[in-house]
Structure 1
Amino acid sequence: MRDTNHRQPVRRIVICGGGTAGWMAAAAISKVLGKLLDIKLIESEEIGTVGVGEATIPTLTNFHNVLEINEQEFMAETQATFKLGISFEGWRNVGENYIHSFGTTGVDHWTAGFQHFWHSGVQRGLAGDYGDYCLELKASQENRFAHLPNNGMNYAYHLDASRYAKYLRRLSEPRGVQRIEGKIVRFSKHENGDVRSVVLASGQEIEGDMFIDCTGFRALLIGEAMDEPVTDWSEWLFCDRAIAVQTEAVGAPVPLTRSMAHQAGWQWRIPLQHRVGNGIVFSSRHLDEETAARQLMANVEGRALIEPRVIKFKPCQRRQTWKGNVVGIGLSSGFLEPIESTSIHLIQRSVIRLMQMFPSDGIQQADIDEYNAQCNSEIDHIRDFIILHYHVNNRTDSQFWIDAREMSIPDSLRHRIELFRETGRVFRIPNELFAENSWIQVMLGQGMMPKSHHQTADLMGDEELKAFLGGIKSRIDRTVVQLPTHQAYVERYCGRPDRGARAA
């Protein structure tokens, strides 16, 4: 039986693999614990990265605050633009679109969320579209953006993933991270089953106390060395292929990621300052690769800058992402398609969680168990949220969408759907990524209207409710009309990294 409690202090960290995952890990560990640790990162120029995680969610700003990153410098270096949400086009039905924004909508009462007052207003003919009461959503529709006082605008970024990794490398190396060029060809293990070292093609052997597996889908350590199996979610998430291509920018970048549904999946469009990231995600059971590639290239704007790249994947998660002295971060730990731009967030959460539980005095099974329990709980909630987009639809144009609507779904998701459909209520589990308003926006956007609402909303008379809703909408409209266009703001803000004050 393998001893999982190791009293030997952890001093030597070996990060296997670079890319976004490897360098995010290196940047955070070196910033927090760099003075106490020997940190090595091994990557090979021969091995490419998947590199499609170019859209993010607002939590990345918190990560950058920890790293003390200058936002203007970061955006200039990665050719980033701002992002206020995701435009879901054709998901509910062909020709029907909605936006999942990063903002809050309306004003809640302590007894009931804003959606109950809005629903009462709809029934009385007093309310507009649910999105009319969200600043970020209205700003994205008008293609406007600015930093507002008191963090009054929630936002994320579109970024060049390759440049982001290089940018983080420039931050990490002065903090003590040693980058080693080389391809890992094998590993050696201790008698207790932990990894002792990795060996490069050059013959160089690198020992460590803890290994962070950022080798992507190869999962060289957490998958091969530690033989950790995955939980397969293909019964709920049919898509198992993606084709990615970069194109030249031919228009002003919008502060939205576009997610355009097609007959067997969806297509993304991510606008950067210097180019556009494009890709198609699809089910190989419902669409062949050749047809998918033609469909992608027929629906891009601008000249292709690279040859389209096919990415095969399985929607899954390692049952344990920390096993022994190996922690899998990024694609090595599992994969959820990037429909809600969670790829970089999951890397960030894994890194931060590891920092919070870092085994300085030796690896303990209790830490491993807690880490894995938190990872599994978080990914299950995100999985359910992604399944929601597919399952709740009104499309009848293809078998893919019919199959998604008719499939059996996890009980945890079924409960959320039934609760909202019957009562208009939503809930947030502690530490869950997506807040109530995200669930509401997607459920309404996918065509699910609650049958009822909280009776508190009916205590307002027509004039009072009309004034309440109208006041929220008017304040948002007044703010949006004063905002500069997104492109103008990006050009001004990213023109020079040392430019001090944020525009209002």
Structure 2
Amino acid sequence: MGGGAAGWIAAALLAKRIGRHQARITLVESEEIGIIGVGEATVPLLAQCNALLGIDEFDFIRKTQGTFKLGIEFCDWGTAGNRHFHAFSDYGHPVEGVQTHHYWLRLRQSGDDTPIDDYSFAYAVAKNNNFAPSDPNDARYHHAYHFDAALYARYLRDVATDLGVQRIEGKMTHVDLDSESGDIAAIHLADGQTVPGNLFLDCTGFASELLGKALDTPFVDWSHWLLCNRAIAAPSGPAGAPAPFTRSTAHAGGWRWTIPLQHRTGNGMVYNSDFWSDDAARSALLDSIDGEPLAEPRVFRFTSGHRREFWRRNCVGIGFSSNFLEPLESTGIQLIVMGVLKLLKCFPQGTIDPVLRDEYNRLSTREIERIRDFIIAHYYLSRRPEPLWSACRNMEIPDSLRHKLDVWKASGQIALGDSESYMEPSWIAILLGNGVVPRRYAVSADLYPLEQIRDGMKLRREEIMRSAQAVTSHRDFINSHCKAAQMALA
């Protein structure tokens, strides 16, 4: 129930991985109900999803007015003037089993102030506005995408219907629940149609018409940890060559996203309404936009958190109907894809097995808690003086995040648990990027003399810079392979 990215990703993946002979998949959506369309930046998981669906990458980029993404640049986070990069890559191969950042820490203690970003090949490529897909046989980085969310939903609609998904146009009016089991038996549409089913996927966004309203599944509120509760978004005309990364810029009362597409730039401000009024956020957004605004800014209200059960009775919530985390790390579509892939592993064969449903809920809860901690860390580590940032710095954080930070500060190690979506390089990028330097490094980093380490790290930086400069420009790559119709980039 519901279209947009959530509905059509779910329909397409299920149709592709299950097949028409095992299930009949119907998607109900209404043209009267628009999609939010704020989340136009993604993580590399979407490239894997597209590959599973057999989507041609260049055709996809061309038809969604898309661009490529190598990571996120953070500006003014932690302190004004600070810049760091969360790349979709690591910091180079380990030496004698010791990760690069431990050698970097050793050099830093000796007075070397080289930024950790200088050891990221993805960052070296991105900062020059270059792009080319990484060699699959020697992947030095991964890539994701920026795209028009409405165009993406339409693109996936064609993919899904080609795979046998039936689409029904209609607006839901009410739901029939089975009198004995409490399961959803059918949904009723305004034109009089009745759509029965065995398993229902709620893709109705914040409305959560099935999981939240019909089945009355409680919501776990995380607004005491993730304080931002509003976003204001406005597109603008393109300003120069598109960067191969998302930019996140901190402001006094929140942060601003900049997402370059082929035909426009996506802009938005995420903020807390207790510290910043809608008018103040709107003014700050419009004052900072490069390029001509193309529409009046729209305000979205949200609460970060999740439904206590992602799968209740015979209904699975996919996307915002079951969870929402603010868009700082482009997690919206990531959580959609992860939800569908987990469902495929636990998919009912005839009847719903409560054991598999419980396992789905356990994994979903653990995964989103790990992602929540990663996002909280961005705020909690800030040293900015404004009221929002002071409130983030002084709040009580989850024990799981506290443990990660304590272990890092004591040893330079990332204490990863199960169901982690963000691995060691991602945590290192945010921790070191915000100036959180551990007290010590791995003892094995002392195996070689300091000058040998210094020379080796210098050679590594030089090779990264040389190789990155040889990569073609992002603009030229798009124009050569996947420019949208009549959209050659000047």
CA contact (8 A) 1:103 1:154 kept: yes
1:126-205 paired onto structure 2 within 5 Å:
126=112, 128-149=114-135, 150=137, 151-191=139-179, 192-205=181-194
Where do 5+ consecutive residues of structure 2 fail to align? 486-490
Separation in 1, partners of 2:462, 2:235 = 40
Match of 1:21 in 2: 6
1:38 to 2:12 alignment: no
Match of 1:5 in 2: none
SS in 1 for 2:365: helix
1:477-488 paired onto structure 2 within 5 Å:
477-488=465-476
CA contact (8 A) 1:243 1:280 kept: yes
1:490 is aligned, of 475, 478, 490, to: 478
Match of 2:441 in 1: 453
Count of aligned pairs between the two proteins = 481
Separation in 1, partners of 2:282, 2:185 = 43
Segment of structure 1 superposing worse, 25-34 or 181-190 = 25-34
SS in 1 for 2:77: strand
CA contact (8 A) 2:11 2:27 kept: yes
1:395 is aligned, of 384, 388, 405, to: 384
1:328 is aligned, of 317, 340, 364, to: 317
Moved over 6 A (4+): none
CA contact (8 A) 1:126 1:466 kept: no
TM-score (norm 2): 0.96
Match of 1:238 in 2: 227
Match of 1:310 in 2: 299
1:99-138 paired onto structure 2 within 5 Å:
99-109=85-95, 112-126=98-112, 128-138=114-124
Segment of structure 1 superposing worse, 478-487 or 371-380 = 478-487
Separation in 2, partners of 1:293, 1:127 = 38
1:423 to 2:411 alignment: yes
Residues 271 and 496 of structure 1: is their aligned pair in 2 closer, same or farther, counting only changes over 3 Å? closer
What is the Cα deviation at residue 496 of structure 1? 8.7
1:61-80 paired onto structure 2 within 5 Å:
61-80=47-66
CA contact (8 A) 1:384 1:412 kept: yes
Cα deviation 1:186-216 (Å, max 9, x = unaligned) = 1110021110111111111110001100000
Segment of structure 1 superposing worse, 215-224 or 449-458 = 449-458
Separation in 1, partners of 2:365, 2:98 = 30
Match of 2:488 in 1: none
Match of 2:243 in 1: 254
SS in 2 for 1:93: coil
CA contact (8 A) 2:132 2:472 kept: yes
CA contact (8 A) 1:213 1:327 kept: yes
CA contact (8 A) 2:89 2:140 kept: no
CA contact (8 A) 1:278 1:300 kept: yes
Cα deviation 1:209-240 (Å, max 9, x = unaligned) = 01100000000000011110111111111100
1:356 to 2:345 alignment: yes
What is the Cα deviation at residue 495 of structure 1? 4.3
What is the Cα deviation at residue 127 of structure 1? 6.3
CA contact (8 A) 1:378 1:432 kept: yes
What is the Cα deviation at residue 291 of structure 1? 1.6
What is the Cα deviation at residue 467 of structure 1? 2.5
Match of 2:43 in 1: 57
Q: What percentage of aligned pairs have identical amino acids?
A: 42
CA contact (8 A) 1:133 1:472 kept: yes
Match of 1:85 in 2: 71
What is the Cα deviation at residue 328 of structure 1? 0.3
Give the partner amino acid of 1:384. Answer: D
CA contact (8 A) 2:25 2:166 kept: yes
Separation in 2, partners of 1:494, 1:163 = 15
Separation in 2, partners of 1:135, 1:109 = 17
Cα deviation 1:109-137 (Å, max 9, x = unaligned) = 46542211110011224562111111001
Cα deviation 1:448-472 (Å, max 9, x = unaligned) = 1111111111121023102221222
1:204-243 paired onto structure 2 within 5 Å:
204-243=193-232
Separation in 2, partners of 1:153, 1:109 = 19
CA contact (8 A) 2:70 2:142 kept: yes
Cα deviation 1:46-73 (Å, max 9, x = unaligned) = 1111111100011111111111110010
CA contact (8 A) 1:127 1:466 kept: no
Give the partner amino acid of 1:449. Answer: V
CA contact (8 A) 2:370 2:419 kept: no
SS in 2 for 1:354: helix
2:288 is aligned, of 264, 285, 299, to: 299
Match of 2:269 in 1: 280
What is the Cα deviation at residue 432 of structure 1? 0.9
1:357-376 paired onto structure 2 within 5 Å:
357-376=346-365
Where do 5+ consecutive residues of structure 1 fail to align? 1-15, 498-504
Match of 1:10 in 2: none
Separation in 1, partners of 2:215, 2:459 = 58
Match of 2:460 in 1: 472
Give the partner amino acid of 2:409. Answer: R
